[in-house]
Structure 1
Amino acid sequence: MLSRRGLLAAGAGGAATLSVWPAAVTASEGRAPREVLTIAAFPLIDEIGRAALSRWRTLHPEVALRILTRQYIDHHTAMTTALSTARGLPDVMALEASFVGRYARGTGLLDLRQPPFGIEQLRDRVVPYAYQQAVTATGAVVAMPTDIGPGTMLWRTDILGRAGLDGNAIGRSWDDYLAAGRQIKARTGAFLVAAAQEIKDIALRDGRQPGEGLYYDADSRALADTPRFERAFEIALRARQAGLDARLTAWTNEWAEGYKRGKLATALSGAWLVGQLATWVAPETRGLWRAAQLPGPTYAAYGGTFYALPRQADARRRALAWDYIRLMTLDTGQQLAAFKQQDAFPALREVHQDAFFDGPVAFLGDQPARRLWREAAARIDAMPVHRQNAFADEVVNTELDNVLTRAKPIRSALADAQRLLQRRALR
């Protein structure tokens, strides 16, 4: 379940270095900055950083900001290398949620509980599950959340209307959701969802025990052999056997065409998908969509962004680096602006009471959908992120494909996944 930035930034250009404040200032002008603070980011996060320049200039007119932008994967690869070699370290690094868990097991990031940071005093100001994602097994807190991705189900009013269904009711349970899919297919010919994997991704989050991650428990024991996985695979298989999924890969031309041409009745994704449908995927469908909670109902997160401080970065700029993080994560005006301009749903809870959350969303027929997403954000359970989650994603998705396309028995598929996940956990 990639985040919005992971998906959108995949096609972005290569590395670029931008000295964004001050621009082209020379020492002869008498205004040369005494310090330069380097921020390593990826697309969209860099845009949010540039939008905050005037505020930063007010706080620290003597400190230049240099934002290093790399494509999403290149950025995280570069940060992995920098942390392991202590070379090319920025003062502040942006990290997508899935990478926080990978880095948290190492010693490359500062524990923000320590002075002068005191992040524990800020805990109640941010969404609980997002804060918990940055907590290591030893209790260290290695990153500060800035935005989150609450999950939502989007549904087409025209398709469900022709099928005689109420989109607000079809997700009361997974049985209801699949039954609705069969009725939609029979009466309209549309598919319920783009891919059965979307269903598995959500159903897999149902029934987790306290303290469990998605793929591993607190003791790094793999969980693929549990009833939770078996149930998620069974629901996805039922959808495939009934012909309810269009077998489309997300973010392909065929996937976009499915939304444009009314071939897909629902979408299970992060709330940020609304912005992508509205701006480039299917803008002509404006007003035809509505939002509801994910089937189950299930409350799930689709990515998010954090800021972290490398342990071996120059300590002389550490206080400035923390000031930058505080600006980007704790300034209500900055958080709200990022939400309005870049669909970056705020991790800062006090922003959630702003009147903007009660306003209409034009693409959704003026539905005040942000209220739903705010509720989802408050109800998502904290879920530890294991450093092998990316590998586990690949293994579990491969085994699901074996079940869906090669008729591999579910228990056999999960047994094979369990073996691979447990072996990798020991590394």
Structure 2
Amino acid sequence: MKTILKGLAALALAGAAITPVLAQEAPDSSVSGTINVLTWPNNDRTFQALLPAFNAAYPDITVNIQGIPTANNGYLNAVQRAMLAGGGTDVAMIEINMMALLRDKPQWVDLGQAPYNAGELLEDFAPFTVANVTLPDGKISALPKHTGPGGMFYRSDIFAEAGLPTDPAEVSALFADWDAFLSEGQKLVVPNQRWVIGNGEEIVRAMMAQKGVSYFDAEGNFQIDDPVFRTAFETVKKAADAGMISPFTAWSPEWQGAFGRGQLATVLYGNWFGGLLKRAYAADQDGKWAVATAPGVEGNRSFNSGGDYIGILEGSQNKEAAWAFVKWVVSDDESLKQQYQNDDLYPAYTPAGQAEWMNFEDPYYGGQNVNEVFAPVQAEMIPFTLHPLDPVAATAMSTAVNNVARGVQSVDEALEAVRAEVEAQM
């Protein structure tokens, strides 16, 4: 079994021994000026930590970073205000769920045009991220920064206690599909004390992505009638009936604390979640966590969970310095290395996948090289079709899934509630 996983990883990591670092274009250190960058917590901290390395390459560029909380559309509103202001903000981040709302706004600089010529640079980025920033007329509204290849994080000590294998390859083989997740996962449950997974949304999002189904298709049709939604909701109900889903609301203090208390045996998110485990939720659990490939649908086990982008606003008074910062952040070896090793942010820039700093034995995961899981996911995932109403659909879906998990609604009632809420906004 171990050979299977390593074989898949080897295909995605081919060339690692030949290309240990990224090829770098010498920066133009003469570029100068001051730029203001808009982002969110904790990415403001990430950018702040990068500034010494950035200023080593561009000593005469001053970068001011402002972090706007994302709650209640706070960050989205801040970006929209910056666009309308026509000045004051030079660079802004875009979270993947905001892309369809923001990418076609005329206030973004077209990075496909001279002097940026980003089309050539984008040849080295994950194809689905390129599609997300490229408009039908060819305009490139932003550059991809990071993706979120997903996997199943699990507590190896809890698996051992339950009599399950702990080796990542063996866990991947055992939890091959969602039926196995239900049958084997039940062994991890301690009624009212320990659960397999924090919430049903993790299951639904992974199954949607693995089936290649987005909330809306390319023509803008809401896809709630696709069979994957019913299958996913029914899987959530079975998991809840078996006591596998915790009573905690995702991202609540109780949910976050459950990791430290050892009450959650697995979590299904993008690789970035490892940063939260290491530095916040389970900082004292070195060696207890590992990562396996997620259970799959019809053999497809890959899903993306998250991602972000960065662009330049037309109102910028120093586009040259803004471009230097944007390009450096998304493609420079030192930038990507620090973001990956300090914050577990997975580069959209594909040559980074060959770098030694992405392929190492991580002591937090008991010496596992987790990129052997995430690299094949990045290479094989089905692109998600973005739509302006994705946030509306995601909110409706979250409520419905939780209602199913808690026995408030039947699967039929929950699906109809999602349909009604989303169609009311269309």
TM-score normalised by length of structure 1: 0.83
Is 1:150 aligned to residue 149 of structure 2? yes
Q: Which residue of 2 aligns with 1:421?
A: 422
Q: Which residue of 2 aligns with 1:38?
A: 36
- For 1:137 and 1:422, locate their aligned partners in 2 and report how far apart those are by CA, in whole Å: 26
How far off its partner does 1:138 sit? Answer: 4.7
- For 1:321 and 1:357, locate their aligned partners in 2 and report how far apart those are by CA, in whole Å: 27
- For 1:63 and 1:254, locate their aligned partners in 2 and report how far apart those are by CA, in whole Å: 43
List alignment gaps of at least 5 residues for structure 1: 1-32
Q: Which residue of 1 aligns with 2:79?
A: 79
Q: Secondary structure at the match of 2:134?
A: coil
- For 1:291 and 1:34, locate their aligned partners in 2 and report how far apart those are by CA, in whole Å: 43
2:313 aligned residue (304, 310, 313) = 310
How far off its partner does 1:34 sit? Answer: 6.8
Q: Secondary structure at the match of 2:141?
A: coil
The one-letter amino acid of 1:72's match is T
Is 1:361 aligned to residue 362 of structure 2? yes
- For 1:251 and 1:97, locate their aligned partners in 2 and report how far apart those are by CA, in whole Å: 18
How far off its partner does 1:78 sit? Answer: 0.8
The one-letter amino acid of 1:342's match is D
Q: Which residue of 2 aligns with 1:113?
A: 112
- What is the aligned-residue RMSD (CA, Å)? 2.5
1:204 aligned residue (208, 212, 220) = 208
Kept after mapping to 2: 8 A contact 1:287/1:362: yes
Q: 1:215 to 1:255 in 2, by over 3 A?
A: same
Q: 1:301 to 1:319 in 2, by over 3 A?
A: same
Count of matched residue pairs? 386
Dislocated runs of 4+, deviation >6 Å = 186-189
- How many percent identity over aligned positions? 24
- For 1:252 and 1:144, locate their aligned partners in 2 and report how far apart those are by CA, in whole Å: 32
Q: Secondary structure at the match of 1:383?
A: coil
- For 1:253 and 1:401, locate their aligned partners in 2 and report how far apart those are by CA, in whole Å: 17
List alignment gaps of at least 5 residues for structure 2: 1-30, 166-170
Q: Which residue of 2 aligns with 1:405?
A: 406
The one-letter amino acid of 1:248's match is F
The one-letter amino acid of 2:233's match is F
Q: Secondary structure at the match of 2:409?
A: coil
TM-score normalised by length of structure 2: 0.83
How far off its partner does 1:187 sit? Answer: 10
2:67 aligned residue (57, 66, 69) = 69
Q: Which residue of 1 aligns with 2:11?
A: none
Please identify, of 104-113 and 392-401, the stretch whose mean Cα deviation from structure 2 is larger.
Answer: 104-113
- For 1:72 and 1:374, locate their aligned partners in 2 and report how far apart those are by CA, in whole Å: 29
Q: Secondary structure at the match of 1:154?
A: strand
Kept after mapping to 1: 8 A contact 2:404/2:414: yes
- For 1:285 and 1:54, locate their aligned partners in 2 and report how far apart those are by CA, in whole Å: 30
How far off its partner does 1:93 sit? Answer: 0.9
Q: Which structure ranks higher in relative contact order (CA pairs < 8 Å, sequence separation ≥ 6)?
A: 2
Q: Which residue of 1 aligns with 2:335?
A: 334
Matches within 5 A, 1:201-350: 201-208=205-212, 214-296=214-296, 297-311=300-314, 313-314=315-316, 317-350=318-351
